[in-house]
Amino acid sequence: MSLYVIMILIGIFTGVVTGLTGASGVMVVVPLVNMFLNFSIHEAIGTSLMVDVMAPLAISFVYYRHGNVDMKSGIWIAIGSILGAQLGAFFAADMSGVGLGSAFGIFMILMGILIWRKGLHHESLAKKMKKVAKFETKFQRLVMALILGFLIGLMTGILGAGGGGMILLILIFVLNFSLHIAIGTSALIMAITACSGAIGYALQGNINLLAGLIIGISAAISGMVSAKYANKVNEKILSKAVGVIFVALGIIMSILQVGG
């Protein structure tokens, strides 16, 4: 099978998973390009970060046109995430391929188990966060947003995980954004964070530009189509399916890293 066809199929599958679940495309792209295109783990994460810029950017543009993007307060998360992503990418460059690949595989397994048990949405976490995270002044909210953004960026730079769900929770329960504005703003911040991480990997020569474009365009198209059906799919069944996929990919990837 042609490598281009494989890239397109990876992009389509990534878009379907992302469109239905809202999960970062990195979670799908990294193991698939590592297994089927023989990308090194560093190149896989770098390329997946490039892919993870395109779809969120398109989504945020749609929300922006409807007045549902607010970066006046969200900019603090973005600043923190940019700094964290650069630092994370710097650390990742010094990690061995086996170590980084195994860490990503374990991360996927844990995420799969979490999704299996708790589902794709985080209402329970959100309620707990609202009870615990009480910020009385605007300054406290902005400082916390900056710190949390930095931590999300750090995770993105090392593992490529976009942190879109956590950004959404921060916007709603720390900065008091409405849901629609939070979704649009979190998509833009996720694109900015991924872009920062991608630049860090690009400076190390760990991005395949052609693969990133082909997979990214394919993912953006299939993601927009599948997103229309997201509310029609049984959430419990979808959560179980995605959980199994993530755990299986994580196990296979970990085995391949150790075996390689």
- Residue 247: count of CB within 10 angstroms of its CB: 18
Better-scored residue on pLDDT, 125 or 216: 216
Tally of domains in the chain: 1
What is the predicted pLDDT for the residue at 61? 80
Which distant-in-sequence residues (6+ apart) come within 8 Å of 49 by Cβ? 26, 156, 160, 194, 195, 197, 198, 201, 207
Please compute Rg for the chain using Cα positions: 17
DSSP code at position 229: T
What is the predicted pLDDT for the residue at 133? 54
pLDDT band at 260 (very low <50, low <70, confident <90, very high): low
Average pLDDT, the chain: 78
Q: Which residues form the domain of 109?
A: 3-259
Which distant-in-sequence residues (6+ apart) come within 8 Å of 205 by Cβ? none
